Structure 1
Amino acid sequence: MPIALIVEDEPLLRAELRDQLHALWPELEIGAEAENGIEAVALVESLRPDVVFLDIQVPGLDGLEVARHIPDATQVVFVTAYAEHALRAFETGAADYLVKPLDTGRLMQTVKRLKARGRDGNRPPADLWRQLSSPPAPVTYLKWLRASVGNIVRLVMVSEVQFFQSDGKYTRVATAGGDALIRLPLKALIEQLDPSQFVQVHRAAIVNLQAIDHIVRDGTAMEILLKGRTEKLAVSEAYGRQFRQM
């Protein structure tokens, strides 16, 4: 049974990758998980995994530095928020790369490549080189939403949304002109929003950075106060890192 090590400092992303691997590759044993590069190097030496899923941006030692401590016989899959980092990853002998947010279909391709790589040698597949050398497709983000207010359907410009919040089977769309509801869940919604403008602050909330008035800290807890609103949005520990320097 092959053994894998997951190196990822974000608990939710780590759990998501673990769960998807269980579903797509049941015979793979997740031997251990690491939250930083120093811990990862120690686990590589003690666990001797067959596969390491390695986030490029982890504290301590970054993923590329960790990779230098991984034996050639161990397959490495880099996980990154930026596809352009993958080319550097292959200089360390990586077997494949995954771009956040994780896509199940893309992960399935990676699983197939990992299984086949022992037969095909250590070079990355030719189609991966083509993907990396080709210019990235332009990214388009959601511009407007069709939202419900009672029996009325409104067209809401995404740029005017102050925050999104889970509300039972619906998602609340909060704007200065009033609130509305959509059926799109937050998990699907965040993938369609411009990350330079919208960030997830809780498993149940996404906020428009331009709508933030200030952030209140109480020990490790944080709350967001919005311009022109009385609501406070809690920032969960899993999503709090992006606000630590604010």
Structure 2
Amino acid sequence: MFNTIIIDDELPARLHLKKLLSHFSKDIKVIAEAQSGSEARDLINTLQPDLVFLDIEMPGLTGFQLLEKLQHMPLIVFCTAYDQYSLQAFETNSVDYLVKPVRLERLQKTIEKTKRFNPSTNNTHKILDLVRELTEKKEEKEMVSLAVKKDDKLIFIKLEDITYFEADERYVLVHSPKGKFLTEQSLAKLELRLPNYFLRIHRSIIINTKYVEEIQKYFNSRYTIKLNNKGVVQITSGRSYLQAIKNWIEM
């Protein structure tokens, strides 16, 4: 029986994974959940679970940053939107990785692998080295411009000219002083490649912090943020992005 913690900033993702794990109740016991890296760090160090299902792309403290701060290193299963190729290196150093949306058939293979895994091969240093390697690869891939749709054409717009990105069904709207454009890249993929001056403040919004004109506390652990985009745009942040915004304010 593996005492297990689920870590993901999105409640639907946690509920989905917990429901899938209920099919393996003889092997997995979910003892806690966390919606942020900071919360997860305290839970892991206190409860010392055997196994953790860890989302990588979280506001505030990412899954990678969390690993570097742990005193107790459990077995790790990464649950992420990272591309499959990038995570293959983790197979021999953690337990496994799952690409979202997680499927029951794929999870079953992970559980079987977990039961066969030798804890003595859970090398913390190797995992952290791989974390740093992936982080460096991310930095190498940062963009300077983005291809967007305008009528029937593809044009390139400089990132510094983009005020914010907004998810809208299957497309992402790109807002800039020059107008609105469409890109087929998801917010998750954009977040991995955008420079550090972009900040995700909501499940569906990434802002360019260089355009921030004013920020105020809002109720229920949120902020209202005003962007100067040839006229002021006011955006309300999501609750789970509170720590990420605080970290940016304190920089």
The TM tier, using the shorter chain, reads: 0.5 to 0.7
Displacement of 1:207 in angstroms is 0.5
Aligned to 2:38: 57
Compared CA separation, residues 234 and 115, structure 1 to 2 (3 A): same
Amino acid at match of 1:6: I
Q: Where does 1:181-192 land on structure 2 (aligned, <5 Å)?
A: 181-192=182-193
Match status 1:233 vs 2:251: no
Identity, % of aligned pairs? 13
CA deviations over 1:39-78 (Å, ceiling 9, x no partner): xxxxxxxxxxxxxxxx75217x724532xx43xxx52337
What is the CA–CA distance in structure 1 between the aligned matches of 2:9 and 2:127, rounded to whole Å? Answer: 29
Structure with more helix by fraction:
2
Displacement of 1:239 in angstroms is 2.0
What is the CA–CA distance in structure 1 between the aligned matches of 2:165 and 2:243, rounded to whole Å? Answer: 20
Give SS of 1:191's match.
Answer: helix
Give SS of 2:13's match.
Answer: helix
RMSD: 3.9
Aligned to 1:167: 168
Aligned residue-pair number: 215
* Larger RCO (CA within 8 A; separation ≥ 6): 2
Contact in 1 for aligned 2:4/2:53 (Cα 8 Å): no
Contact in 2 for aligned 1:78/1:86 (Cα 8 Å): no
Aligned to 1:109: 96
Aligned to 1:51: none
Contact in 2 for aligned 1:76/1:93 (Cα 8 Å): no
What is the CA–CA distance in structure 1 between the aligned matches of 2:110 and 2:244, rounded to whole Å? Answer: 33
Compared CA separation, residues 22 and 193, structure 1 to 2 (3 A): farther
Contact in 1 for aligned 2:172/2:183 (Cα 8 Å): yes
- Structure 1, unpaired ranges of 5+: 37-54
Aligned to 2:104: none
Aligned to 1:200: 200
CA deviations over 1:84-130 (Å, ceiling 9, x no partner): 764674x63522364x855485598256566445445421257x764
Aligned to 1:39: none
What is the CA–CA distance in structure 2 between the aligned matches of 1:57 and 1:141, rounded to whole Å? Answer: 26
Compared CA separation, residues 122 and 32, structure 1 to 2 (3 A): closer
